[in-house]
């Protein structure tokens, strides 16, 4: 009887140890899985959504900057020379100061080239980090490729080409909204998990 009791106690001890190991392993596995998910979300934010949001902001800022610079130059020209009625005097002013103003004025070609560079950066970021993008973002990839290819092929000498292309940028509004949505979600989750 003592042998049976000793066997039962040994089995209970072994079972308890095994159960403890299984529970500890399950807790560790769950914790590691949760940490991998947090690490992936941080990587999504750092390597994909934050840079995409930054490039988009730069596109907006540079697009409006060209307009502001040209508007300021036009206003300055008019303040300095707008009152001149004599054609010869106006021509002299144009010859003397015009090159300075034209050098400062950002041409449509420069504008398009800078924006093409930014759209290329966005496309390259998406292409090289597609594995970090959510499925809702990935569905916009063909639209972005199309948009960039149209920009690359624009004839910079064509008058008004920029304004026509700029209006087509609205086709990517869904992508921009999706990037913003995931950026906000991932930022919130990352901060919450860092604090918690």
Task: Provide the residue ranges of all domains of the chain, joining segments of one domain with +.
Answer: 48-195
Tokens for 89? Answer: 């005097």
* Positions in the chain short of pLDDT 70: 1, 26, 28, 90, 97-109, 154-168, 193-196
| DSSP annotation string for 22-86 | HHHHHHHHHHHHHHHHHHHHHHHIIIIIHHHHHHHHHHHHHHHHHHHHHHHHHHHHHHHHTT---
- Output the pLDDT for position 93: 73
Residue pair 179/49 in contact by the 8 Å Cβ criterion? yes
pTM of the model: 0.69
Whole-number pLDDT of residue 142: 95
The pLDDT of residue 87: 76
Closest CA to 125 of 136, 135, 111, 137: 137
């Amino acid at each position: 009887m003592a042998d049976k009791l000793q066997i039962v106690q040994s089995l209970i001890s072994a079972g308890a140890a095994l159960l403890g190991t299984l529970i500890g392993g399950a807790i560790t596995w769950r914790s590691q899985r949760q940490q991998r998910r947090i690490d992936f979300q941080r990587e999504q934010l750092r390597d994909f959504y934050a840079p995409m949001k930054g490039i988009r902001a730069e596109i907006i800022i540079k697009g409006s900057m060209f307009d502001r610079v040209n508007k300021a130059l036009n206003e300055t020209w008019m303040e300095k020379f707008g009152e001149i009625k004599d054609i010869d005097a106006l021509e002299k002013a144009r010859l003397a100061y015009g090159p300075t103003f034209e050098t400062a004025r950002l041409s449509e070609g420069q504008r398009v080239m800078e924006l093409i560079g930014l759209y290329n950066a966005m496309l390259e970021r998406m292409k090289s980090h597609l594995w970090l993008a959510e499925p809702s973002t990935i569905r916009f990839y063909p639209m972005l490729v199309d948009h960039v290819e149209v920009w690359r092929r624009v004839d910079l000498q064509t008058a008004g080409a920029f304004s026509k292309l700029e209006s087509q940028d609205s086709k990517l509004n869904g992508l921009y909204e999706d990037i913003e949505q995931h950026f906000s979600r991932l930022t919130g989750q990352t901060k919450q998990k860092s604090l918690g």
